[in-house]
Amino acid sequence: MSDEAVTRSDLTAGELRKETRTANGIYGVIVGTGVMAGYTGSTVGRLAVAVLTTLIVYWAAERYAHVAARRILLRRKLTRAELRREFADGWEIVTASYLPVLVLVLSSLLGADLFASVRNALIFSTALLSLSGWRVGREAGLPFMQHVLSMAIAGAFGVVMIVLQTFLH
C-alpha cells in the first residue's frame, strides 16, 4: 500500500499479523537486553532464566491485556477458541530472545566472565536490532538514507543498553 494515509484498519488480517509479529520480535529483543543490562546476579544461568522468565511475564501480561480489552469491546466472555487464538499470539516477544540468550550462554561456556558474556549478548542484540531496522526500511520501500536511519534508530536501543550496562556495573 503506497498511500501515506493508510491506517491499521486498511491492512489485511495477514498484514496485521505480520506487523504484530515483527513488532513483538523487536520488543522482545529490547526487553531482553534491558534485563541483561541491568542484571546484578551472579551467574549466566540465572540471567538466562531471568531473561526468559521476564519475557514470559511480559507476554502473559500483554495477552491478558488483549483478552480484557476484547471482553470489554465484545461485552461478553470469550469462547475457548477465541482464548486459544489470543494466547497463541505474541509469542515472538519470548522467542526473539533465544539467539541473544544463546550468545550469552555460549560466551560463558567459551570462558567469558559474566560481564563479558552479557556484553557479547548485548552487541549481538544490537546487531540483530540494526538488521531488523534495515529490514523494516527495505520492506517499506524506503529510500537508502531512510533505510540507514531506520537501522540506526533500531540499533540505538541496543547501544543504550550497552551504555546502561557499562554505567551500572
How far apart, in whole angstroms, are the C-alpha atoms of residue 64 and residue 146? 36
Task: Fill in the amino acid letter for 9.
Answer: S
Whether residue 7 lies inside any domain: the answer is no
Whether residue 128 lies inside any domain: the answer is yes
Whether residue 33 lies inside any domain: the answer is yes
Whether residue 25 lies inside any domain: the answer is yes
Domain containing residue 100? 12-168
Whether residue 6 lies inside any domain: the answer is no
How much is the CA Rg of the chain, to the nearest whole Å? 18
Tens-digit pLDDT profile for residues 95-152:
999 999 999 999 999 999 999 999 999 999 999 999 999 998 888 899 999 989 999 9
Task: Fill in the amino acid letter for 90.
Answer: G
How much is the pTM? 0.85
Which grid coordinates are listed for 28?
Answer: 522482545
Positive or negative torsion for Cα 55, 60, 63, 68: negative
Please give the tally of structural domains in the chain: 1
Coil, helix or strand at residue 90: coil
Whether residue 1 lies inside any domain: the answer is no
Whether residue 51 lies inside any domain: the answer is yes
